Amino acid sequence: MRKLQFILLTIIMGISAANAQENLKYQLPPESILKLADYQRPPAVTIDSHNEYMLLTYRNTYKTLDDLNQTEISLAGLRVNPVTNISSSASYLNNLKIRKVKDNEPVQVKGLPDNPRITYLSWSPDETKVAFTNTTDKGVELWVMEFATAQATRLTDAVVNANLGNPINWFRDSKSILIRLLPAQRPALIDPKKALPEGPTISVSDGEKAQNRTYQDMLKNPTDEANFVTLTTAELYKVELSGKKTLFKTADIYAGENFSPDGNYLLITTIRKPFSYIVPLNRFPQQTVVYDLSGNAVKTVNDVPLTEVMPKGFMAVRTGKRSLNWRADEPATLFYAEALDKGDPKNEVPFRDAVYTWKAPFDKTPELLTKTELRFSGIVWGNASIAVLMEEWYDTRRVKTSLFNPSALSQGLKLVSDRNYQDIYSDPGNFETRKNQYGRYALTIDGDRIFLVGDGFTPKGQFPFIDELNVKTLKTKRLYQSGYTDKMEEILDITDVTKGEVLVRLQSKNEYPNYFIRNLKKRIAPIQITHFQNPFESIAHVYKELIKYKRADGVELSGTLYLPAGYDRKTKTEKLPLLIWAYPAEYKDKNSAGQSAANPNEFTFPYYGSFVYWVTRGYAVLDDAAFPIVGEGKTEPNDTFVEQLVANAKAAIDAVDSLGYINRRKVAVGGHSYGAFMTANLLTHSNLFACGIARSGAYNRTLTPFGFQSEQRNYWESADVYNAMSPFMHADMMKTPILLVHGEADNNPGTFTLQTERYFQALKGLGAPARMVILPKEQHSYVARENILHLLWEQDSFLEKYLKK
């Protein structure tokens, strides 16, 4: 019987040699889906640290195919437009409005360019202005907007170089901007198709292990190197608000500029040669120099060599200074970490890292601040006597947080927490910060108190909280905990410790998120300060529930279940087809794997990245279904990847089926990226699903031989694991219809478009029922309106054909 079904499906899919291709133009999804997908996005909100002004930024819901159809060069991990000199995947704002927080109506910013394409918004240190770039057909301009007048002004022509990211840095006085501009004498780019090579391209392995992940868009030859230099080289200019320009530093490859908190020094990092053909630009040689405000070199503080060779493992780091940055609470002090284990996690040492500070003018030896048991992961600075040190270790999912006194190092570290960071129920929260006298974010300190804001996940639901921590006793006191059972509350900022004012965002499953001011000292309702409307009213009355269930081995699982509006949950006469959308996650213990971060009161925000749209088409949807992959002790999660995938899927179907809502013979599964990889494996190794949708996945793990996702072992160490997990290796077992979708220009490490093309060829060659859709111009995530709406049509047609019928 199963063989007959397979033959019939092969015929229906129309993948015979006589009808292998379809010349199909872009299609639109059904009206109920189109109504949800083709909406106008409400503005995003940013509020200054004084809680005075609100900046509202607007952008189109989607890009267009024309937006993607631009000239592009891919070099050293970059994808840039060589005409405009900015990332070819940049997302642009198309309008700005401002509003005083205490007012009701926003004010349109005047003087914006025609058809603005705005990005890289950068607030001035005094928060009275915002600088930004505008991209024209000819290039990138520098603009500034003043809050007091709501007036925007252009400061430069289209000569800004944004190829290496944000080109804007404010001087401390908020009166001038340091900006990267195209060099006055810039060579023309070389056409790779016309350049005649002077010899072959040669790479050499000298015996050192260089176990790098699979990167895309690497340099390939001397022509690429020359074009990379042309595109990334810039001159640094000081631009005053009047538009006056002064050359600050001559042409170089500037990878980062950072003023000291007092504004008297400037930390500049440049990229040096030799370049690499196997790693991206962030691992090219770099030099970091401190300059004064006249552009004179004060001290070379770091020289990083080419880093092609790294030890194996996620906790591997290069040797030498790293994480070099300014200390937020002092005028001009650098801090950095250095590995004590040679950067190799395999080396057993009492301390992994040493952390140093280095005061300007850097004429003395750096001072040892502390040593860390785990890998250094950051410091939240407070003042001369209070700071927070953070350490982590991936293999055990361990994170440590400690208080210390930067002025009395002999006092040592005071442990605040030492926990498994995947154990979200025990998360103590993040330390609250606010801008200090230097305009840098530092710990919010009130006497002996500092503050923690937590997401508040518990077995009974999510209840965000604010705790105060006494730095002397290390005891915590709960100041506030959300008590909503019908809404979701997010604590965004403690805006005024003295007054007890807190900025929060409230939402429910059918109420769009809006901003409120809550007063912890006054027992009054929070005051609403934005009034954004729900753009998805058509699904306001669908049924939504967080369901919890168990895997066969006892691991707790969960997912958010949606049922069509009006579905009779009492009689359950109609048995619905079920769609499951998921993404696997690796854990080191079953307890953490069973915890849920889902909130049933979160606003239902349908988007192309899930199946929620199909609740309007008569499907039940289990969204964000938990698919944990657990490996406790010395066992790695992927050792039993396929078995655990199938167990997760069976548990999910059993759970919804036990509620009486579905026809378990009509279940589909889908996922994006690693979720696509999951989908192909489930269809290959189980009989649980009628069909599946896999988008932008990787299906042959031998093409990512030095690790993938959370797998640290290489192929030659665990060939059986790589082969067992690769759907491509088991294509002969595939008998279930699958829709494969991929972006034509995927730039994500490992998920080359070739992965889907080769997998489809294997399935077709073996007679499996498959359909492949390559979306023009798209990268790993899809952004063009035409492609997204067609994708929704493809998915709907596929599901109607292989699930409903």
Question: Which residues are known to be catalytic?
Answer: 673, 746, 780
Query: DSSP class of residue 241?
Result: T
And the tokens for 426?
């025990």
Q: Is residue 133 within a helix (H) or strand (E), and if so which, with residue range? A: strand 129-135
Give the whole-angstrom CA distance, residue 147 versus residue 98. 7
- Say whether 654 sits in a helix, a strand or coil: helix
Give the whole-angstrom CA distance, residue 443 versus residue 417. 17
Give the whole-angstrom CA distance, residue 741 versus residue 755. 11
Contact (CB, 8 A) for 768 and 735: yes
**Peptide bond before 361: cis, by omega within 30 degrees of 0?**
yes
Buried/exposed 246-261: b ≥16 CB within 10 Å, e otherwise: eebbebbbbbebebbb
Q: Which of 181, 197, 229, 198 is nearest to 78 (CA)?
A: 229
- Say whether 527 sits in a helix, a strand or coil: strand
For residue 418, the cross-strand partners are: 400
Beta strands in 185-332 (DSSP E): 234-240, 245-252, 254-259, 265-271, 286-292, 297-304, 322-326
Integer Rg of the chain from CA: 28
Would you say how long the chain is, in residues?
Answer: 805
Query: DSSP class of residue 411?
Result: G
Contact (CB, 8 A) for 109 and 99: no
Contact (CB, 8 A) for 150 and 200: no
Phi, psi (rounded to 5 degrees) for 407 = -95, -5
- Say whether 379 sits in a helix, a strand or coil: strand
Give the whole-angstrom CA distance, residue 103 versus residue 69. 42
Q: Which of 683, 666, 645 is nearest to 551 (CA)?
A: 645
Query: DSSP class of residue 103?
Result: S
Give the whole-angstrom CA distance, residue 649 versus residue 645. 6
- Say whether 770 sits in a helix, a strand or coil: strand
List Cα–Cα distances, 292 to 84, 164, 169, 358, in angstroms: 31, 23, 15, 16
Q: Which of 180, 177, 176, 178 is nearest to 164 (CA)?
A: 180
Q: Is residue 457 within a helix (H) or strand (E), and if so which, with residue range? A: strand 457-458
